[in-house]
Every structure is written in C-alpha cells, then in structure tokens.
Amino acid sequence: MHLILWFGVVAGLYAALRYSPGKALVLVYVPVLLVVPDTFHAITPGLPDPSANVAVMMPIFLVTLIVYGRFWRPSVADMLVIAVAGLMAYSEYAAAGYSEAQNLLAGTLFQIVGPYMVARLAIERERLHVELARRIVIIVFGVALVGLYEFKFGWNPFLVYLGIPFSGQGRGWVTTFRYGFARVGGPYAHCILAGMMMVMAYRLNRWLEWGGHWEAKFARFPWLPLSKGRLITLGLLLGSITTIARGPWLGGLAGALFVNAGRHSKRKLAFMLVVGGIALVALPGYLGFQAYLDVKPGVEMTLSQETAMYRKVLFEKYYAIALERPWLGWGRNTWPKVLGMISIDNYYLLLSLMHGVLTTALLVGLMAWMSVRLYLKGMSEPPQANSLAFTFLGIIIAIFISLVTVYLGENVVPSFFLMLGWAEAYIRGGGAAGISGSAPVPQPKSGFRFRRVIR
C-alpha cells in the first residue's frame, strides 16, 4: 500500500496545470509537507523511494521551470543552494555508489532545490505571500492542537494512524520524555524538529497578526474571547512548549529579538543592542560552561555535567574524524562510528562527517548571506511597513541556532528551503509594497464561512 504515495505526482500535476505552480504549492504541496511524515516512503524497485512531499513536488517543480524558467536570473543564493544540494549528492555517490546515492539525489533535487526554486519563482510573481503564510500557519496550528494528545498520552497519532499503509516504516521514531512529560514530535517525527516547525509558523503568524491579515474571529467559533490571530499565536506557543525542545526555544528567542528590533522606531540602535547583548552573554556563558565541566578529581559529576561532558567529548572525537575527509566526507551511512556515541546532536558536525566541511561551509555561508540581505532589505523599508524581511531573518537565526542541537531532517528540510526561496523572492521582488493583500483583512459583522478561514 505504500505505493499510494505515487498518487502525489498526479495530485501535484493536476493542481499545477489546473491552477498554477504557486497555487499548487499552497493548495497541495504545503498540506502534504506539513501533515504527512517524511519518514514514510514508496519503496519502488529500481527507482528512488519518494516520500509524500517529494512525490507532490516532482510535477510542481517541472511545471514551474516550464512556466517561469524563462524569467529566472540566477543569484548568489540560488548558486549556493544548488551547490549544497549538488555536493551532498556527489559526496554520497563518491562514498557509496549510485545505488545508495539515488535516493539522496532525489531528496536533494526535490527537497532542497525544488521547494526553493518553486518559492523563488512563483510566490512573488503570483502574489501569494499572505495566502501561503496563512496556509502554513493554520495547518501547523492544527498540528499543535493534535500534539496535545501526544503530550498527554505519550504516543504519536501521526506516526500510528498515518503509518498504517507503511507497515514497518517509521518505527525508529519514538516519543521521548523529559521532566516526566511526553515531548511532542507530531508528523515531524522528532520533538526538536517539531520545535523548529513551530518556531517558523509562529514567526509567520506574528507577521500576519501585526499586519491585520487575519479575520477578527474564527468563523465557526465567534464566541471565543480572543481574536483569531491571538488564539493562533497562543496555540503555536503552546505547541512549542509541548516539544520541550530547548534548542528551538533558544533559537526562537534569539529570532524574536531580531524581529522586534526591526519593528523598533530606532532600528539601528535596537539591532546594535541585540548583537551586543548576545555577544556579552555568549562569552561569559562559554567560560561558565568550561568551568562547569572542570570537575576536580574525586568529585562526583551531576547528571547534567555527565551529559554536557558526553557532548563535549563526542564533538572532539568526531571533529577529528571529519577532518580526515574534509572535502567530500564519509557518506550518509558510512561515516565511522565511535563506540557508544552513535547519535550526533549537532547538524554542522554531522553534515561535515557525511558530506564534508565544504558543504557545511556553503550552508552556513548561505544562511549568513541571506541574513545580511534580509537585514538590508528590511532596513530599506519604513518601520510601519511590517517588513516580511525581518520575519525571515528571525526564522533563519532560529534555525541556525537550533541546528547546534539536532540534525536538519525529515519535513524540516523542504520547509526551510522553501522559506529561503520565499525570502529570496521577497528580496528581489517588490518587498512590502509588492505584497498582495498587505492591507488589513476587512472585519465583517458576521463571521466568514469556513472556506474563507483556510484559504
């Protein structure tokens, strides 16, 4: 039954031809991406094994290139994205051969280049900024509400119920616990990955809320005491809390500081204070961490010290292994494992091991390049413009920090590169002045019908 995922190709092709590539992205791809776990694949002999979002992206990407390819003018960001994807695929081929590399090649093409390029070429041209943001936010909000079940009962309904046709797949993902509570992973499999998805949706929702892009109330629930935007904000915040993922919490906090600095009337001063404050906290924090690990002989370490020491030793050992093959790495599944240290909770280190230090440098360079340009774009717009550039800046900073604590995988990969392509389109397009629907949503006396809520 797992071959049903191939129907995603039909759905994506129909939507792209019936409407447009951008509309297909909003109406079909995003719901599949945000709800169906990427851990499920159509195991197809002789062909790559696509996940649901890969199957849907295939025809949308192809139609996008046919319809909008003639308008493409390559940018530095485009080249960096293609270089990251290409190096990952080639390094796997060099390390393990084509049979192992074909699935990764399909992944890099349709989960990195595809989402990036469709967003890059279609969103600005079809004026889908608000519609896409609303669709992402409302779906992740629903995921956060379903996550309350996992938080209470300790098992993941997305993996259990959606996994019925995929018997045996996804069983490696289990709900973990911290402080006696279940950590919600939802369709994103791991709690830290879910935390990153919540942060991305939260930042988009704050942009929508500040810009008046939500109706006053949920149409079906007009008796609720808070506005629609505020209820979604609280729901996504609760969703982030139930993941109990400290990396995304820290990243989300840092991202929020930069976003709110961009909304301040004295933005340059605000950004200087944020950067200076982070620098002042980082140095004492690093020195304190080193002192924390400096345990005197004969003194028993606490559980927290043991965990921190484990991570420190793990990093040192694997960093030395990564430097043995710095250009192309060891391959996705063939990097040397240190006994007792199989899990690497640092994507920059893991990426260096798998695909080389050069690939990691390109990824970091991509995020830095986008961050600088988003800052300049946001600063070129008036404070009252509610610039989407600062929202993207906050998202990139949040993900950059989160990746110190977890790998970039599952549904987060295409989601993040979709954001990067969207950000590139915004930078090179009309900016805040070019966003269709930038005016506040009219507030009717009676609620909209439900179909208007999820448009």
CA distance 371 to 356: 23
Boundaries of every domain in the chain: 2-453
pLDDT at residue 383, rounded to an integer: 82
Collect all residues with Cβ–Cβ distance below 8 Å to 168 and sequence separation of at least 6. none
Is 91 within 8 Å of 355 (Cβ atoms)? yes
Q: What digits encode the pLDDT tens for the residues 405-442?
A: 888 989 999 999 999 999 999 999 877 766 754 455 55
Collect all residues with Cβ–Cβ distance below 8 Å to 81 and sequence separation of at least 6. 112, 113, 116, 366, 417, 420, 421
Torsion of CA 7, 8, 11, 13, to 10 degrees: -110
**Phi and psi torsions of 178, nearest 5°:** -145, 135
Is 179 within 8 Å of 209 (Cβ atoms)? no
pLDDT at residue 26, rounded to an integer: 97
pLDDT at residue 455, rounded to an integer: 34
pLDDT at residue 167, rounded to an integer: 79
Look up tokens 């413009």; give the residue.
Answer: 385
Is 60 within 8 Å of 15 (Cβ atoms)? yes
The full 3-state SS of 391-411, as one line of letters, equals HHHHHHHHHHHHCCCCCCCCC
Look up tokens 């049979």; give the residue.
Answer: 99
CA distance 199 to 211: 18
Q: What is the DSSP letter of 449?
A: P
CA distance 368 to 167: 41
**Phi and psi torsions of 341, nearest 5°:** -135, 65
If DSSP codes are grouped into helix, strand and coil, which group holds residue 177? strand
Tokens standing for residue 253? 């906090």
Any idea what the Cα angle at residue 244 is, between residues 240 and 249, rounded to 5°?
Answer: 60
Give me the residues of the chain with pLDDT under 70, please.
Answer: 285-308, 433-434, 436-455
Is 265 within 8 Å of 382 (Cβ atoms)? no
pLDDT at residue 100, rounded to an integer: 75
CA distance 382 to 389: 12
Torsion of CA 118, 140, 12, 41, to 10 degrees: 110
- For 382, other C-beta atoms within 10 Å of its C-beta total 10
pLDDT at residue 224, rounded to an integer: 85
